[in-house]
Amino acid sequence: VFICIKSENGKSQITDFGDGDCDPVQSILNKIASDGNKLFPLTDFTTDMPCLARYSDGLLCRSKLQSIKSYDPVNCVVEYVDYGCTEALDTGRIFQLPASLTQYPAKAIKVKLAGFKPPKEDFDNQRLVYCPDWSLKSLFAMMDLLQKKIFFATCVAGSENTVLLYDDNQQLVHVQLINMGLAEMEEI
């Protein structure tokens, strides 16, 4: 799961530049978009290569190359580093990242969610290819719980990038998965 860190006032701690100041990453992206003819196609298709990618809404976003999905036609999987989502794109939507954008950290951070694990008995035949312990049903249920909502996270002591995720009622989000039988409680 990817999270974006927010302060209590709702602004990102990573991009909180004070009242009236604009997010410099977004300012640079807006300028690049207005000078669209100055974009250079990506020529180095190394895994984790920083790049710009045109999202489905047409906006340019900072990204990194994850993999080559197909070769004829060439289709690449990119991760949008400020949002944590991935998308398969043709090379016409992937560009070199301007040096002016390399100094800013990614806004989305990959974390492991703590407190739950796959159930021992799960007879659903549709499994996640990349993590077969989990069913597709569990994935979709978790996506429904998380989609476009703001949560609170606490770091688990001694575990790097591991968090407990709480909803706005200060309840652990994964408890709903456990109640549906799609996960089991895990000791922390």
- Per residue in 67-95, pLDDT tens? 999 999 889 999 999 988 889 999 999 99
CATH class of the 2-108 domain in this structure = mainly beta
Distance in angstroms (rounded) separating the CA atoms of residues 119 and 184? 5
Q: Does the pLDDT at position 18 exceed 60?
A: no
Q: Quick one: which of 148, 140, 152, 124 has its CA closest to 176?
A: 140
The C-alpha atoms of residue 94 and residue 54 are separated, in whole angstroms, by 7
What is the mean pLDDT of the segment spanning 102-125? 89
Look at residue 21 and tell me whether its pLDDT is greater than 70.
no
Phi-psi category of 31—alpha, beta or left, where left has phi over 0 and alpha has psi -120 to 50?
Answer: alpha
Q: Which residue ranges make up each domain of the chain?
A: 2-108, 111-185
Structure-token match 């974390």, residue found: 111
Please report the pLDDT score of residue 132 as a whole number.
87
Asked whether the predicted pLDDT for residue 167 surpasses 80, the reply is yes
Structure tokens at 1: 């799961």
Order across the sheet with 112-113: list the strands.
Answer: 112-113, 162-166, 152-155
pLDDT at position 4: 73
CA atoms within 13 A on the CB side of 57: 3
pLDDT(17) > 80: no
